Amino acid sequence: MSDLAKHDPEIFALIEKEYGRQVNGLELIASENVVSKSVLEAVGSILTNKYAEGYPGKRYYGGCEFHDVIENLARDRLCKLFGATHANVQAVSGSQANQEVYFAVMQPKDRMMSQDLSQGGHLSHGSPVNITGKLYEVTHYGVDKETETLDYAQIAEQARQIKPQMIVCGASAYPRIIDFKAFKEIAEDVGAYCTADIAHIAGLVAAGEHPSPVGVVDFTTTTTHKTLRGPRGGAIMTTDDELGVKIDRSVFPGTQGGPLMHVIAGKAVCFKEALSPDFKAYAKQIVKNSKKMAKVLMDEGFTLVSGGTDNHLLLMNLSTLKDATGKHITGLEAETVLGQAGITVNKNTIPSEKLSPFVTSGLRIGTPAVTSRGMKEDDMEKIALWISRVLKDVAKDRSSKTEINAVKKEVTEFAAKFPLYPEVN
């Protein structure tokens, strides 16, 4: 980055600082990952110079001959990866991809059913503060109070009462397998379209570590930067040709302008990587790591939502971790103290949540990024014990910095053994 360092030292210095933060700490945010150098190079390329509104073979600008080939490669590779027959790779994000699906087949005021945000869903699934919640009449389903897992019989009953035009499944903070076939049957029963948002689990689905919704539901949306380990962006898939045509129109000219061709090239690179045997091994390790982390935390006495995990994330219920006065440690406090110890996580609502989303009683922990750095089950044990030490010490004495400082030192030494990019460190 010698040119950037010379011409914009301010931005360069901040990128360097962020690199230091990523490399010296442990990123346990469930929706983040570490992309390959190839993805970085594609996204940082001269493809950003070009407008390519339209689709391959039918653009509104000249000079798109190489962009056509790039976009076709991205579409074909995505179809191959998931067994789709139609893919749109222009969605700039997962939220945008969801809006584009709704816009393709729904009218304002149509009814939608989706998982409650506070119980694992996503803003773009019709939250009242999101455009999707303002455009459509949304009813949420939640998880069962006892098991903290989806109750398909209850969701089917709700669907029969609501008679929605669209049922959305998929989540941002749900640690268990999602039964896409059950959702499709519920949707069929009431004549609704079914969309599966697999943003979080796409890498697991691609590698066969989670059942796939492609070929089961009507639309599958995803981001490309979470477990799939590509550049930031979105994509939409279907196995229905007519719906594919509607999706393409909804994306462009329906909601977007010129596609981010440098990012589409990065997506193509990511899909090629995800088709490799190495990626299958990576996805398997993500789940092994997450299960190990869950076990150690539970052995340490912590409570996990649904009692464990089947995927890349776990949700700690901190309401059982109390200080001497009986007041519990909040998600916000836990996020802050673990951050000070070099462990980045995010506060998250839990199914029985009583606090605001800015405070919360939960903590979401994910293993995709640390698995990309080569960490295995033994390393997860170390990380879980560090989390335990910091949280228990803070519960004992909220002003204590003893374990925060000790763990920070150990984390920094440990992280140095797992460079982000071994060839450049």
Query: Cα 202 to the chain's mean position, in Å?
Result: 8
Number of helices and strands in the chain (H, E): 16, 15
In terms of CB distance, is 221 or 238 closer to ligand DSN?
Answer: 221
From residue 122 to residue 151, the character string flagging contacts with ligand DSN as x (rule: CB under 6 A) and all else as - is: x-----------------------------
360 catalytic per annotation: no
Phi, psi values for residue 121, rounded to 5°: -75, -160
If you search the block for the tokens 């049922």, which residue do you land on?
A: 167
Closest-approach residue to ligand DSN (CB) = 31
In terms of CB distance, is 159 or 305 closer to ligand DSN?
Answer: 305
27 catalytic per annotation: no
Q: Within 10 Å of residue 369's Cβ, how many Cβ atoms?
A: 25
In terms of CB distance, is 192 or 204 closer to ligand DSN?
Answer: 204
Helix (H, G, I), strand (E, B) or coil at 130: coil
- Verify binding: residue 349, ligand DSN, rule CB under 6 A: no
- Quick one: which of 290, 286, 306 has its CA closest to 209? 286
DSSP sequence for 318-374: GGG-B-TTSPBPPHHHHHHHHHHTTEE-EEE--TT--S-TTT-SEEEEE-HHHHHTT
In terms of CB distance, is 122 or 140 closer to ligand DSN?
Answer: 122
Rg of the chain (C-alpha set): 22
In terms of CB distance, is 25 or 170 closer to ligand DSN?
Answer: 170
Residue 122 C-beta: closest distance to ligand DSN, Å: 6
- Verify binding: residue 164, ligand DSN, rule CB under 6 A: no
Residue 33 C-beta: closest distance to ligand DSN, Å: 11
> Are 166 and 110 a contacting pair, CB within 8 Å?
yes
Q: Which of 25, 54, 94, 230 binds ligand DSN (CB under 6 A)?
A: 94
- Verify binding: residue 362, ligand DSN, rule CB under 6 A: no
Give the whole-angstrom CA distance, residue 385 versus residue 331.
18
Tokens, residue 94: 């997962």
> Are 210 and 246 a contacting pair, CB within 8 Å?
no
Give the whole-angstrom CA distance, residue 43 versus residue 18.
18
- Verify binding: residue 227, ligand DSN, rule CB under 6 A: no
From residue 23 to residue 62, the character string flagging contacts with ligand DSN as x (rule: CB under 6 A) and all else as - is: --------x-------------------------------
Residue 31 C-beta: closest distance to ligand DSN, Å: 3
- Verify binding: residue 289, ligand DSN, rule CB under 6 A: no
232 catalytic per annotation: yes
Residue 118 C-beta: closest distance to ligand DSN, Å: 14
Which residue in 148, 197, 209, 310 is the catalytic one?
197
Residues, the chain: 425
> Are 137 and 346 a contacting pair, CB within 8 Å?
no
In terms of CB distance, is 200 or 291 closer to ligand DSN?
Answer: 200
> Are 233 and 267 a contacting pair, CB within 8 Å?
yes
188 catalytic per annotation: no
In terms of CB distance, is 172 or 361 closer to ligand DSN?
Answer: 172
Provide the sign of the torsion angle of the four alpha carbons 301, 304, 307, 311, taken in this order. Answer: negative
Q: Which of 114, 119, 172, 285 binds ligand DSN (CB under 6 A)?
A: 172
Provide the sign of the torsion angle of the four alpha carbons 227, 230, 236, 240, taken in this order. Answer: negative
Peptide bond into 253 cis (omega under 30): yes
Residue 212 C-beta: closest distance to ligand DSN, Å: 20
Which residue in 80, 232, 284, 398 is the catalytic one?
232
- Verify binding: residue 306, ligand DSN, rule CB under 6 A: no
Q: Which residues contact 97 (CB under 8 A, 6 or more apart)?
A: 91, 221, 222, 223, 234, 235, 236
Count of residues that interact with ligand DSN, criterion CB under 6 A: 4
144 catalytic per annotation: no
53 catalytic per annotation: yes
- Binding residues for ligand DSN, rule: CB under 6 A, are 31, 94, 122, 172
Active site residues: 51, 53, 197, 223, 226, 232
